[in-house]
Copies of this chain bind each other. A is one copy, B any other.
C-alpha cells in the first residue's frame, strides 16, 4: 500500500486511451493536430489567450519558464525549500545560463510579500550584486499548503511593482484548484502570474507537463530554448494527446479531487500529529521511528522525511480501502 509519491502512480485510463488514438501517422515535432489544439484548450481553461507548450518534465517546464523571465545575470527569488532549489539539480542555473536563486524563508514553504520585500531591500542596485529579476512560488507548496487567490495576488502586486517576473510552479496546481475551489485564472494570471508550469504527470499523466505563458510574447523564445535543450520531441502528439485527454471533461480536476480527498481522510486520523494543515495531497506527520517501522511492517510504504517525521502522499488512484486501513493503523499507534 503505497503512500510514497504521486510520481509513482500509474497513468489514468483516459491517458492510455488517448495515446492509443494518437497512434497514427501525423506531422512530426509539434506540427500535429493535437499539439495545434493546446493553445486553444488552455486559453479556454484560463479565460484568456495563452500560449501552451508541452514538455516531459516539471523541471523542464519550470526552467524554460524561468529562463524566459530571468537573464543569466539575474536572481530568482524563491523559498529555500522550493523544488527548483532542492530537487532540480541546479537546472535553473543551467537553463538560464547562470542565474542565482535567492532563498526566502517561511512556514510550510510558503513565501510572503514581506519576505520578498526584505530580500529585495538587501540588494544594492549596482553592478556588483546580482539583481532580482523574478519571483517563483509553488502552489500547492512542497509542504502541501495552498496559496489563495488573494495571497497570490499580493505577491503578484509586489512583483509587478518591482519589475519582477512572476513564475508559478504548478506541479500540483490541480490540487490547489481542487482545494481552493478558485478558478485557474484567479490562481494565476489574474493574480499576476506571467508564466507557469501546469503539472499532469503527478496527477495521472504518463509523461506530459504544460508550460503556460500568460505573457504570450515570451513563448517564441521558449520554443527555441525547448528545442535547444533537447525537449522538442519528434512525436510530440503523444504528449499533447495526454494533456488534451486530461483537460477534457475536467479529468485533471477529478483526479486532483480524489487525491485531496484521500489526504483529507488520512488527515483526520493524524490529528495533532500533523506538522502542517492538510490542504492538498501531502501530509507531514510526526511519528517516532518505532511507529513508522510498525506501519511499514503492516505494509504501508512512505517517505521518512526526517527525524520523527514522515511524508504521506496520495494519488489520483489511491485505493480507498488502503486509505482506510492506514487511517486506522495511525489511529491505533
- A148 within 8 Å of B by Cβ? no
Is there an interface contact between B7 and A235, defined as CB atoms closer than 8 Å?
yes
Asked if A280 CB lies within 8 Å of chain B CBs, one says no
Q: Which chain B residues border A24 with CB–CB below 8 Å?
A: 10
Q: Which residues of chain B come closer than 8 Å to A91, judged between CB atoms?
A: 227-230
Is B93 touching A100 in the complex (CB atoms < 8 A)? yes
CB 8 Å contact bits of A72-90 with B (1 = contact, 0 = none): 1101000000000011111
How distant is the Cα of A234 from the Cα of B61 in the complex, in angstroms? 13
Chain B residues with CB under 8 A of A87: 128-129
- Is the C-beta of A327 less than 8 angstroms from some C-beta in chain B? no
Our pick among B19, B94, B103, B223 for the contact of A127 (Cβ within 8 Å) is B223
* A233–B19 CB distance below 8 A: no
Whether the Cβ atoms of B58 and A234 lie closer than 8 Å is: yes
The answer to whether A175 has its CB under 8 Å from any CB of chain B is no
Q: Please pick, from B207, B221, B229, B232, the residue contacting A230 in the complex, using a CB distance under 8 A.
A: B229
* Residue A11, interface by CB 8 Å: yes
Contact of A234 among B2, B7, B71 (CB under 8 A): B7
In the complex, whether A27 has a CB less than 8 A from a CB of chain B is yes
Give residues of chain A (23-80) contacting chain B, Cβ–Cβ below 8 Å.
Answer: 23-29, 55-61, 63-64, 71-73, 75
Sort A-B residue pairs by CB-CB distance and give the 8 closest, nearest first: A60-B230, A7-B28, A93-B98, A59-B230, A7-B234, A97-B97, A89-B227, A89-B228
CB pair B23–A230 under 8 Å, yes or no, is: no
CB-defined contacts of A20 to chain B, threshold 8 Å: 16
Say which residue of B9, B129, B224, B235 sits within 8 Å of A201 (CB atoms).
Answer: B235
A205's nearest neighbour on chain B, judged by CB, is B235
Is the CB–CB distance between B232 and A59 below 8 Å?
yes
Q: How far is the CA of A291 from the CA of B140 in the complex (A)?
A: 50
Bitwise interface map of A from 316 to 327 toward B, beta carbon under 8 Å scored 1, else 0? 000000000000
A273 within 8 A of B: no
B63 & A230 in contact (Cβ 8 Å cutoff): yes
Q: Which of B73, B206, B225 contacts A238 (CB 8 A)?
A: B206
